[in-house]
Chain A
Amino acid sequence: GIQVEQSPPDLILQEGANSTLRCNFSDSVNNLQWFHQNPWGQLINLFYIPSGTKQNGRLSATTVATERYSLLYISSSQTTDSGVYFCAARGDRGSTLGRLYFGRGTQLTVWP
């Protein structure tokens, strides 16, 4: 399978600060997604980004597939950004094709 490692495991910020979350993956992928898990447990899609850069409001993401990492940027953080951020990847061959492999997440806490 694919190993997905996220860092940092925990991040505490004050409102208005910027942050960068990192995701390393161990194999070539055809799907890389970032999710935000809200306090009720739902996984909210943030980005589908197997390569390149995307932006959505205060959030942006970059995946460098050749170097097997992805970054999620959060600018001007708000208390509503708090929660767990997951990176998940799906491989592009063989037994890694079917499922998404998840990292352990980054717990983000934003204080007012």
Chain B
Amino acid sequence: QSALTQPPSASGSPGQSVTISCTGTISDVGGYNYVSWYQQHTGRAPQLMIYEVTKRPSGVPDRFSGSKSGNTASLTVSGLQAEDEADYYCSSYAGSSSLVFGGGTKLTVL
């Protein structure tokens, strides 16, 4: 159950787009279409932003989108806004009824 690999930080200016990667293996990200992305503001609980690789829960702006290629999933935030500044975590189903999370990426809006 090794953690998924995310870059520790990412940044962009308001209005720009930024993409955060999440790399796993064939045993997790590459083997299942059950990748999720969470946003966590400081001191708050994580909030689901993307599930099953590309799906958005109701209420999540369409500026947030997800994709996957091989063992790497990606979250793209378009039209960056100040309130998007937060930590972002990916997770994946890893078989045997277990989940694995990424180490998190701190997104800074410049």
- Tell me, yes or no, whether A binds B: no
